Amino acid sequence: MSLIIEILKSLLYGIIQGITEWLPISSTGHLILLHTAMPLKVFEDASANAAFWNMYKVVIQLGSILAVVVLFWPKLWPFSKNITEAKQKKIYRLWILVIAASIPVGVIGYFLNDIVDEKLSTPAIVGLALIIYGLIFLLVENRPRTPVITSTEKIPLKTAFFTGLFETLALIPGTSRSGSTIIGSLLLGMDRPTATEFSFLLAIPAMLGASLLKITKMQFNIGISGTLVLLTGVAAAFVVSIMIVRSLLYYIRRNDFKLFGVYRIILGVLILILVVMGAIPEGVGV
């Protein structure tokens, strides 16, 4: 019975992950609240549960990654039947852009991963990051600008690399990976749909690398129970991500990001209030 409860919890975690990973509102901030309300308790030992959670909250992103790969497969796979040489070259160039943008976060993330986990992974930091980036979204959207990059095919290599530098800011919990890359892309001249799509594509190497790193650092066997709980979350994240990615691309063609900025500020204030009240202990681990 207890395993069924943990699987149901993981199902809810996966739904929240699938929704919040792609919206620029920080999946971490939402998982903090959920983890505080209903922590996963797969094992009898508290330290084992803490280690499992540290891995789970990252590896669950694999479901979200798979959703993006499925949705953007025609844009990502250069070996399809009847593909033209011109189309193939465009796909190769897109991958060069993604790789160039992924270099900064890959290098910096590798060296700073442990420091981030030990020093910055606190609810207070997440709350502050939510508020700060919410304000930045409002400032960026209120700034007069004329986008000069209107499709991923038109992104210059230098612009892709600098977008990757913005992505490194997402190493700070609560900033949101998609939020950082979208803000950077907008400031570098992309229109909203292009910034959003490029952010989705950059998620593939970034999230895959982070997940594999966590798996390799896992120092104990999670067993059948842990595997079932983890796979449930991954599967739920995949299904929900499919719907959210499609919906966000449709939404952002007709709207701006101000709503997400306001939402981030409200969520950040809520988290800070709960921290001050002691409802979210500083050592909860995010």
pLDDT tens readout for residues 42-79: 998 888 888 888 888 888 989 999 999 999 999 999 98
Residue spans per domain, the chain:
2-284
Residue 90 has which token pair?
A: 């465009």
The pLDDT score that the predictor gives to residue 282 is 57
Alpha-carbon torsion angle 29, 35, 37, 38, nearest 10: 150
Amino acid 115 reads I
Tokens of 282: 């500083």
Residue 174's nearest CA partner among 16, 28, 20, 18 is 28
The pLDDT tens digits for 140-154 are 999 888 899 999 999
Q: What pLDDT, on the 0 to 100 scale, is given for residue 35?
A: 86
pLDDT of residue 1: 61
Those residues of the chain that have pLDDT short of 70 are: 1, 218-220, 281-286
pLDDT of 10? 96
Question: Residue 45 — φ and ψ, nearest 5°?
Answer: -80, 130
pTM confidence score: 0.88
Question: Tell me, what's the pLDDT at 281?
Answer: 63
Three-class secondary structure of residue 189 per DSSP = coil
Res 220: pLDDT: 66
Contacts of 214 (CB under 8 A, 6+ apart): 54, 55, 58, 59
**Predicted pLDDT at 114:** 72
Q: What is the pLDDT of residues 105-121, one digit of tens each?
A: 888 887 877 777 777 77
- Residue 46: predicted pLDDT: 86
pLDDT of residue 73: 93
Give the bridge partners for 85, in sequence order. none
**pLDDT score recorded for residue 123:** 87
User: Number of helices and strands (H, E) in the chain?
Assistant: 12, 0
3-state secondary structure of 114: helix
> Tell me, what's the pLDDT at 33?
82
Residue indicated by tokens 């990252």: 58
